[in-house]
Amino acid sequence: MTDYGHDLLFGTFVTPSAQSPQKVVDLAVTADRAGLDLVTFQDHPYQPAFLDTWTLISYAAARTSRVHLAGNVHSLPLRPPAMLARAVASLDRLSDGRIELGIGAGAFWDGIEAMGGRRLTAAQGVTALREAIGIIREVWDVSTRGGIHLDGEFYQVDGAKRGPEPAHDVPIWVGSYKPKMLELTGAYADGWLPTLEYIEGGLDSVPGINGRIDEAAAAAGRSPGDVRRLLNLMNVSFQPTSRALLNGPVDQWVEDLAGLVLEYGFSTFLIGGDDPAVAERFAAEVAPQVRELVARER
């Protein structure tokens, strides 16, 4: 039993398909109107069938008014960290504090190289991401005097200016699966953002992963509660009868999600499938009941 006690957030995990850009924007608008907390977008800059995720988020932010938006997760090798930090802070200002930041060390290296990016090993990726998170926080920190300096293994900055400052305290959520990256998440990140279907061993391995993040957080002098646990769930559907996790009637969704909160420590749920009707039911029927049930159990 692990519950970190975070407030619950519900949202969607959207495919940024270039085939039907309007439908993708409409998915954000639907999430906004339905009262979801978050709409997040995959980021694969080397995938020609996808829209550029940062451009899409900037555009969708203007078309929505309440929902928060984030990349899920941005591909660090093609999103230089200072540039990304300035873009995120700018949009956070423009959208009145509705932007969050999801980031990962990179995957699909052939695609990254084909776009001119740098291929890194898994171990190098951990160091590069740690340096990047440092740079991002420095860019956002306008209260410290002087420019940004880092003579890192993967990034070099010598006196770059700070700012803009985001409108709110933008959390950095890291997509991570392997031990070293999970340790980095615990030590430096504000959230762990995996996709359930990609977690080796599935839910059974989550308690072990949480433990690893918690230990790394403690070792860095932080509390486990400093790291929100978010979860992408790709295969979800409303069904008349129970079939699998989040594939069943509303009541089952509610129980499944409450279980994920109370037993696995997750507090943010982002569903895939790109189906506006599912997103609306998720917001209207599932989310309030999960909040109620969890409040009772906590």
Q: Which residues bind other proteins (CB under 8 A)?
A: 18-19, 21, 25, 45, 48-49, 51-52, 54-56, 58-63, 77-83, 86-87, 90-91, 93-96, 115-118, 132, 135, 154-157, 160, 163-164
Runs of H (alpha helix) within 198-241: 206-219
Which among 58, 252, 156 has a CA at the least distance from the CA of 260? 252
Cβ proximity to other proteins: between 132 and 230 the closer is 132
Cβ(257)–Cβ(11) below 8 Å: no
Secondary element (H or E) of residue 192: strand 191-192
User: Which backbone phi and psi does 192 adopt, to 5 degrees?
Assistant: -110, 125
Cβ proximity to other proteins: between 6 and 44 the closer is 44
- Using DSSP, state whether 3 is helix, strand or coil: coil
CB of 87 to other proteins, least distance (A): 5
CB of 115 to other proteins, least distance (A): 4
Going by DSSP bridges, is the β-strand pair 68-71/9-14 parallel, antiparallel, or unpaired? unpaired
CB of 172 to other proteins, least distance (A): 15
Cβ proximity to other proteins: between 156 and 235 the closer is 156
| Distance (Å, whole) CA 7 – CA 228 | 10
CB of 152 to other proteins, least distance (A): 8
Cβ proximity to other proteins: between 82 and 261 the closer is 82
| Distance (Å, whole) CA 131 – CA 156 | 9
Cβ proximity to other proteins: between 71 and 248 the closer is 71
CB of 188 to other proteins, least distance (A): 16
Cβ proximity to other proteins: between 51 and 227 the closer is 51
Cβ(186)–Cβ(162) below 8 Å: no
Burial 6-28 (b: 16+ CB within 10 A, else e): bebbbbbbbbbbeeeeeebbebb
CB of 154 to other proteins, least distance (A): 7
